[in-house]
Structure 1
């Protein structure tokens, strides 16, 4: 039996249905707003393009919601620190950028710690701005300072198309401080990313840093840090720096950035996992720090890939290598990169302790080109390397007497579990005096082409004939000049390596057997 609905209830349901229709007719969210800032304007306006805000304090005072934008007028300069602390959503980020025509708007930190301070915010895009942070190299300075502090994980942050320069942060050469001055927590540099706090594990997830120009900055170009970095793999001397359990930045992409005239380290990934660093160009690092700095490197991190990068003109032999697999790392890959004219050499491998935490494990260095890298091609610190693979690289030695091809400081025999395979090493006029200061029996040297340079006594299946390259020299870093010519003894002279990446530097699949060096040939 169907019972009739009482009239009072029917009226109530009708009212509710009408209210529901009204609710459905209301937009899901308020329309986004754009706030315009022209710091050359004489008076402070309402934030419209016709009546713009005219100062950084006025811009920072605006409460933003998802989809909102704050745009600075091109061709003008605003002094002060932009404080980006409002979150957007996955489809409606909060955006900071420029409007109008001409050069990107300029934000001068003017004595503040950073030109842009992005703190505890997700789904934020900072783009198309010129950023400077002048200083005297004694106080921390950054172009962009991205922080996650007891915030939980922050997602969807993009830093792109920024021109960052004249960031004058802490440098040991200027302060007289230790080699670590300006690094770790509170680091100085062009873009500094930090995870900090004590109560809530905090990190950036899916951060993208792309298409930026970073030049004339101190100390680092791009630098990652987190104090959420304690784990079993951690090297001992970091226990005072790592105050919280392991919670790394992850899913980061750093690509297509140009870095020049960097005071210290070029591009450093620490306490991170699942990171891609590709197509970045670094020319000139450790220009002013006067301490240990390298080009592109990673420490206390897992599953980091560096590929299609260039690292050149490092100015020190205290480190100073183009690339570095540092301590407490697992599954790090360097492939398809170019290194040239670095005072400290091509590659640093810097684990700590053969029998204590801090080893470098399961790393791969393949299909790279090194030209005229000085001091030493590979330097190994006094620690343990586990399941390391160095294969199919092409190395043009410098014209330096007594160059060190591989030098190691391992504390005991058997600490360097490394396979050095299918590498092409070409000597220059002075390379007959080059040295292998390598005593570890676990470092295996097999199926390499070593021409015009000494062959270590432990090496097996070595080819010593001239490699027949297109136009090799110590003055060209053009990869095409180091390709194999027809008839090269390197063609098909290598040994098969499982999981070889499926392509050489130029995109060709390795044959069976493969060639020696970074070029498979025809």
Structure 2
């Protein structure tokens, strides 16, 4: 064979090999493009649509929740419901996204939030065993009668996350008229149902509720939660990465925000008002949304480690039979801090539970504790570290005693117009007091060391409003006896309630560090 013929054959082999390589590369690219497109599809759902449509355009949307619930979704897919439309039944998502491309449920078009009414199902929106899922911008209700006060409770939630479901975001939703079990019943069953609430985990229902396998990384933010018989936000198995931020919870039959088994949860910038709006063991009455309730608190954790609860506003928590406080380090919590919070007009007092390794600092309490007819809990019921807080009352309630056995009170201001001088007595061998300010008419029987007696000279306490930014009246006027009268606290957070650096000269008493 000639050299020239060998060369021609070799060139043909090279050309064929190169062509095959190009074809393989093109095939891979095409597959990648198809796969990428398949995993980034937007699906549209409208009450005027049809399930026979492909759903991939707003001009050919799907129609029903069952169609969406039965479909398979991939990373980056979006399921968008038409604004202004409504559906009855359950929306279920059980497909996962990725960290870069979550599966997103949301809205399209202009108008009011698309409404999912559970209609009495166990949950209106159910995320079941799916991770990397975002629910953003829906309206959600769940009741089985004419309205949420029709007298029929059941085991119902608004948005529920169960199974193995991590990396979940729930934001910008409005959740209301979820009629489930209100709270702990004293005796009997809830109205309108044969289920025994206690035997059916009546605590474990919520407008937003997470349970199931221990999970991580939940962001629950900027939701408007109102007029529900159930808990506002309840998580029971989020281990790490729990953030509950910027939510508004109003008018609920059970607790406001509650979280279990979390490590280093961050709870901040929430507003919780009028929870525990519950008629106790009697039948429901006008303006009372819950029934057979027993005890609630505004924002609290249980079996948690190192929680940070800050910049929250809690008001008008009702004491049903027990509790009624804005804050609570509940059973088996370890460490943690409540700081830079504002509470007012909560019936049960300031805080329910706590241990010496837990801190309450730079908080402002205004007219808490108006229903302290019982003495087992009192205004303070936490054996914790209290420093640089303001406890102010002009409602005559006083700071009723509780059986505190340890803990410390430093740099706090106590001011009340109550007349019962026994209300601030504590058992011998109980908490220690130093560098606290005492004003008003109530004589404290345990003032401790270096007390400062007299008017603290607040700017204008009566000017306080209904947010964490409406408390400038509790700044100290120039010449206040509380200025430079405190004691230094190590690891104090570095700033006062208003963000002023600590310390300016000697420490001040109260939540304000004067310039």
Q: Bin the TM-score by the shorter chain.
A: 0.7 to 0.9
Deviation at 1:484, TM superposition (A): 0.4
1:69-119: CA deviation from partner (whole Å, max 9, x where unpaired): 111111111111110111111111111111111101000001211111011
1:333-356: CA deviation from partner (whole Å, max 9, x where unpaired): 100001100111111115xxxxxx
Long gaps (5+) in structure 1: 197-201, 227-247, 351-359, 411-415
Which residue in the other structure is 1:254 paired with? 244
Q: Which residue, 151, 169, 179 being the options, matches 1:158?
A: 169
CA contact (8 A) 1:393 1:517 kept: yes
1:364-415: CA deviation from partner (whole Å, max 9, x where unpaired): 100000000124599759xx977x31100011124225x334412x6xxxxx
Structure 1 residues 272, 43: CA separation in 2 closer, same or farther (over 3 Å shift)?
A: closer
| SS class of match (2:296) | coil
Q: Aligned-residue CA RMSD in angstroms?
A: 3.0
Long gaps (5+) in structure 2: 1-6, 145-150, 191-195, 279-290
CA contact (8 A) 2:391 2:415 kept: yes
Q: Which residue, 360, 363, 369 being the options, matches 1:365?
A: 360
5 Å matches for 1:333-482? 333-349=337-353, 360=355, 362-374=357-369, 375=371, 388-400=384-396, 403-408=398-403, 416-428=405-417, 430-431=418-419, 433=421, 435-452=423-440, 453-457=442-446, 459-473=448-462, 478-482=470-474
* Alignment partners' CA distance in 2, 1:495 and 1:40: 68
Deviation at 1:46, TM superposition (A): 2.5
CA contact (8 A) 2:343 2:366 kept: yes
Q: Quick check: 1:30 aligned with 2:47?
A: no
Deviation at 1:21, TM superposition (A): 2.5
5 Å matches for 1:38-437? 38-41=46-49, 44-47=52-55, 48-135=57-144, 136-147=151-162, 149=163, 151=164, 154-171=165-182, 172=184, 176-177=188-189, 181=198, 187-194=204-211, 196=212, 202-226=213-237, 249-288=239-278, 289=291, 290-316=293-319, 318-349=322-353, 360=355, 362-374=357-369, 375=371, 388-400=384-396, 403-408=398-403, 416-428=405-417, 430-431=418-419, 433=421, 435-437=423-425
* Alignment partners' CA distance in 1, 2:22 and 2:97: 32
CA contact (8 A) 2:231 2:256 kept: yes
Q: Which has the higher strand share?
A: 1
Tell me the TM-score normalized by structure 1.
Answer: 0.83
CA contact (8 A) 1:472 1:482 kept: yes
* Alignment partners' CA distance in 1, 2:187 and 2:41: 45
Deviation at 1:225, TM superposition (A): 1.4
Deviation at 1:63, TM superposition (A): 1.0
* Alignment partners' CA distance in 2, 1:101 and 1:385: 49
Structure 1 residues 24, 44: CA separation in 2 closer, same or farther (over 3 Å shift)?
A: closer
Deviation at 1:41, TM superposition (A): 4.0
| SS class of match (2:459) | coil
Structure 1 residues 277, 182: CA separation in 2 closer, same or farther (over 3 Å shift)?
A: farther
| SS class of match (2:315) | strand
| SS class of match (1:518) | coil
Structure 1 residues 475, 180: CA separation in 2 closer, same or farther (over 3 Å shift)?
A: farther
* Alignment partners' CA distance in 2, 1:506 and 1:385: 25
Structure 1 residues 339, 90: CA separation in 2 closer, same or farther (over 3 Å shift)?
A: same
CA contact (8 A) 1:404 1:437 kept: no
* Alignment partners' CA distance in 2, 1:20 and 1:283: 63
CA contact (8 A) 1:274 1:304 kept: yes
Structure 1 residues 329, 59: CA separation in 2 closer, same or farther (over 3 Å shift)?
A: same
Tell me the TM-score normalized by structure 2.
Answer: 0.84
